[in-house]
């Protein structure tokens, strides 16, 4: 069966996010000072061929831990759905 995973990888809350800080500053310049605390992470989508959802979840977990997320600096969450 084919599944689709939607993965969010964000910098840890406790860490500075220089890219987000820069964008927060830029919000002033485009007239949106009401927007603050911008944090920028990664959004990853992928397709998985697996027998069931449990196996698909396991594969996504492995991919996040081994390759996609840097657990020292980032945390991740994901959802797996049956691909249309």
Report which DSSP code applies to 68.
Answer: I
Rounded to whole angstroms, the Cα distance separating 45 from 9 reads 11
Phi, psi of 3 (to 5 degrees): -120, 160
Residue 39 lies near a copy of itself (rule: CB under 8 A): yes
Residue 38 lies near a copy of itself (rule: CB under 8 A): yes
Among 21, 46, 53, 57, binds a copy of itself (CB under 8 A): 46
Residue 57 lies near a copy of itself (rule: CB under 8 A): no
Residue 84 lies near a copy of itself (rule: CB under 8 A): no
CB of 72 vs a copy of itself, minimal distance in Å: 18
Question: Could you tell me if 68 and 45 are in contact, meaning their C-beta atoms sit under 8 angstroms apart?
Answer: no
């Amino acid at each position: 069966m084919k599944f689709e995973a939607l993965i969010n990888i964000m910098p840890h809350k406790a860490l500075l996010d220089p890219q987000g800080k820069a964008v927060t500053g830029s919000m002033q310049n485009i007239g949106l000072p009401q927007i603050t605390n911008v944090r920028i992470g990664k959004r990853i989508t992928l397709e998985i061929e697996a027998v069931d959802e449990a196996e698909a979840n396991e594969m996504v977990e492995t991919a996040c831990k081994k390759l996609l997320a840097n657990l020292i600096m980032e945390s991740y969450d994901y959802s797996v759905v049956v691909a249309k």
